[in-house]
Structure 1
Amino acid sequence: MSQQVIVGLNVVVVALVAETPCVMTVRQFTDIATEPTVGLPFGPLDTERHRTLEEGLRAWVQEVAKQPLGYVEQLYTFGDRDRHQSAFTDGGRVISVCYLALTRAAGQVAGNATWESWYDYLPWEDWRAGEPPMLRAQILPALTGWVDAASTADGKAKRQHRMDEVFGLASDVWDSDRALDRYELLYEAGLVEEAWRDRGEAIPSNLALVPGKVMAYDHRRILATAMGRLRGKVKFRPVVFELLPEKFTLLQLQRCVEALAGKRLHKQNFRRLIEAQGLVEETGEIFAEGRGRPAKLYRFRREVLRERLRPGVKHGY
């Protein structure tokens, strides 16, 4: 007997709120929990009503959360078996076409939607205040235990290599683009709740899971995918334009890039790079706040906005 295939739409909607990259989340019931579970916005594709997937996505988010979307791009298609079991699926296999969307309008959202920092779900990715203490206090020791638990010497060597690569131990360089690789390694090592939930097994009483809020289904994996994509994209496309007001200071631009990258940048080096790339131009206006020195207001050059495949914000790390 063939299994019904259901096509759904997922979206990671990102907005910048007080220098914090936030994602839209919704409260939803699942069959794997007795309480409402937080997840990313998800809905079925209405093949009769919408001509394209993106058209359906925009209309659906507007209807459900009263949230207009700016930049939208297809992120990935997720279709693993048993990844999305609920009353909605009725036993069918769910193929989710996932999108990444950016918006400046991070206002009040309707229904059961809200805005939350993406670092609430992937806290080890935020290095803006330096290396997160949880890394050496909890995550790396737990992964070392997972490496040592390999049944063969070859298996142990392979696990150690992956750990060294994705957590920057081999080169002493944290590659911010590898957010998905890090989440998947923690999942494979059984250090996030979703790993045990998906196996249908109880979490061992002696196991300390790594910090980070849990999401429904495989939505935290989708979020990690979006984080890595956006961090890589900001280096070669000016997508930060979609998160900033039309006019901004260079400090606001830097803080936006830092928020997405999860890492502080050298102020003067950043400004030299911005100037060399020719991405922005002065507006002739200034921004004065408090007692500090007024700052010049900038905007992205029109030529850059017309051809967004051109260079992005190379931030020098």
Structure 2
Amino acid sequence: MAEARRKPSAIQHNNADDPQIELGLNAAIVTVRDQQPHILVVRPGMTGSGTLDALPFGPFAPRAHRTLEIGLREWVKRQTGLELGYVEQLYTFGDRGRHAEPGGAHTLSVGYLALTRGAGEELMGSHWSPWYAYFPWEDWRKGKPETLSKEIEPRLKAWAERPPSPEGPARPLRRAERLKIGFGIDGGWDEEKVLERYELLYEAGLVAEAARDGRTAAKQWTDLPEIGRPMEFDHRRILATAMGRLRGKLKYRPVVFELLPPEFTLYDLQKTVEAISGTLLHKQNFRRLVEKGGLVEPTGNVSTTTGGRPARLYRFRREVVLERPAPGLRVKAGRAQA
């Protein structure tokens, strides 16, 4: 038994040539202003090449940070001056070649989604940027985005007809089938599949990050326009994950109220949901759903800033989270209403 205890295990084995691993913390911090979702990006030069937008980022220091979330909050406060409210962990990102500097340590990034109403706060070293600047194909509030029809879909269809790349993993679905699921090509559009769509664009070499990372597919395109604003490292992938998570969570958790002031009109609520989901909602159906679900209650006050007759003000009814397990907004896209 003593011999067995002394025998080194594979976990204990340490090779000096093993790559170094660093743990980083990233935050996709979301707010809604002027009916547009925005994310907080740090000033160029604070991370990476210094030329592209980046999410607030910092290394995890185990001796200084008792938890990952505490470390994240401290880094965001240090880089931007913003005190975070709602925060949830997304995923751990560690694909080789999407963050590590040549010859440097390999970085694992723990991504977080954070929601705030603090769009008007004075920030240092950072600014708010519309998230559809990075994902213009995700905003369907004015109909199908032009970049989908003109730039993305024709190239994706051409890519689907090419033989699979040897640098990618074997997949159970053919490329055409994946395009149908992700982009709704010859199918239906699912607003939650933001990450799947970005990954398809990356694999097809249609986003700037693919060319930067040396993907073979990116070398096959000539005169390729910029499809969405690129970001440092794999930050656009992290943002895509945050967008999909938030869009899905609207349906079963009352997270939208983290983005609204304490008192709001039903119009404000609808426009905030539309901004996040990238789709239009049927006005009467939306209001019936909100009122039937018991998500809000009138405050007795009115707003006179609507330009028409005063609108009733509401607040989130917190008791709803105790009354049912999934108090979200299971809305469906519809036509615009006057």
Structure 1 length-normalised TM: 0.91
**What is the Cα deviation at residue 252 of structure 1?**
0.2
1:20 equivalent in structure 2: 36
Q: Distance in 1 between matches of 2:270 and 2:108?
A: 37
**What is the Cα deviation at residue 31 of structure 1?**
9.5
8 Å Cα contact 2:39/2:130 also seen in 1: yes
**What is the Cα deviation at residue 58 of structure 1?**
1.3
User: What does 1:24-35 align with in structure 2 at a 5 Å threshold?
Assistant: 24-29=40-45, 33=49, 35=50
**What is the Cα deviation at residue 123 of structure 1?**
0.3
- Of the structure 1 ranges 160-169 and 115-124, higher mean CA displacement relative to structure 2 is found in 160-169
**What is the Cα deviation at residue 208 of structure 1?**
1.7
**What is the Cα deviation at residue 85 of structure 1?**
2.6
In the alignment, structure 1 residue 119 sits paired with structure 2 residue 135: no
What letter is aligned with 2:61?
A: D
Q: Distance in 1 between matches of 2:25 and 2:164?
A: 40
What letter is aligned with 1:221?
A: R
**What is the Cα deviation at residue 314 of structure 1?**
1.7
Structure 2 residue corresponding to 1:137, chosen from 144, 147, 150? 150
Task: Kindly provide the CA deviation profile for residues 25-76 of structure 1, in whole angstroms up to 9, marking residues without a partner as x.
Answer: 113449974x522111110112122211111111221122111111100000
- Of the structure 1 ranges 51-60 and 174-183, higher mean CA displacement relative to structure 2 is found in 51-60
1:149 equivalent in structure 2: 162
**What is the Cα deviation at residue 257 of structure 1?**
0.2
**What is the Cα deviation at residue 221 of structure 1?**
0.7
Helix, strand or coil for the counterpart of 2:124? coil
8 Å Cα contact 2:37/2:276 also seen in 1: yes
8 Å Cα contact 1:193/1:203 also seen in 2: no
Helix, strand or coil for the counterpart of 2:328? coil
Structure 2 residue corresponding to 1:91, chosen from 100, 104, 126? 104
User: What does 1:163-182 align with in structure 2 at a 5 Å threshold?
Assistant: 163-171=179-187, 173-182=188-197
2:207 equivalent in structure 1: 192
8 Å Cα contact 2:57/2:75 also seen in 1: no
In the alignment, structure 1 residue 218 sits paired with structure 2 residue 234: yes
Q: Distance in 2 between matches of 1:291 and 1:248?
A: 15
Q: Distance in 2 between matches of 1:308 and 1:211?
A: 42
**What is the Cα deviation at residue 200 of structure 1?**
6.8
In the alignment, structure 1 residue 3 sits paired with structure 2 residue 3: no
In the alignment, structure 1 residue 79 sits paired with structure 2 residue 91: no
CA RMSD of aligned residues (A): 2.5
Helix, strand or coil for the counterpart of 2:22? strand
8 Å Cα contact 1:139/1:210 also seen in 2: no
1:315 equivalent in structure 2: 331
Structure 2 length-normalised TM: 0.85
**What is the Cα deviation at residue 178 of structure 1?**
0.4
In the alignment, structure 1 residue 259 sits paired with structure 2 residue 284: no
Change (3 A) 1:24 1:296: same
1:60 equivalent in structure 2: 75
Structure 1 residue corresponding to 2:299, chosen from 271, 283, 306? 283
8 Å Cα contact 1:192/1:209 also seen in 2: no
> Computing the radius of gyration over CA atoms, which structure comes out larger, 1 or 2?
2
Q: Distance in 2 between matches of 1:174 and 1:73?
A: 26
Q: Distance in 2 between matches of 1:92 and 1:64?
A: 23
Helix, strand or coil for the counterpart of 1:136? helix
Helix, strand or coil for the counterpart of 2:288? helix
**What is the Cα deviation at residue 149 of structure 1?**
2.2
Change (3 A) 1:84 1:236: same
Task: Kindly provide the CA deviation profile for residues 172-226 of structure 1, in whole angstroms up to 9, marking residues without a partner as x.
Answer: x211000111111011111111111111778567242452101011111111111
**What is the Cα deviation at residue 99 of structure 1?**
0.5
Change (3 A) 1:69 1:19: same
Q: Distance in 1 between matches of 2:325 and 2:106?
A: 36
Structure 2: which 5+ residue stretches go unaligned? 1-16, 334-338
8 Å Cα contact 1:30/1:216 also seen in 2: no
Change (3 A) 1:291 1:231: closer
8 Å Cα contact 1:188/1:195 also seen in 2: yes
What letter is aligned with 1:104?
A: R
**What is the Cα deviation at residue 306 of structure 1?**
6.5
8 Å Cα contact 1:65/1:113 also seen in 2: yes
Q: Distance in 1 between matches of 2:97 and 2:164?
A: 28
Q: Distance in 2 between matches of 1:204 and 1:189?
A: 9
Change (3 A) 1:203 1:25: farther
Helix, strand or coil for the counterpart of 2:43? strand
8 Å Cα contact 1:77/1:97 also seen in 2: yes
Q: How many residues align?
A: 311
Task: Kindly provide the CA deviation profile for residues 121-148 of structure 1, in whole angstroms up to 9, marking residues without a partner as x.
Answer: 0000000111111211121111111122
Structure 1: which 5+ residue stretches go unaligned? none
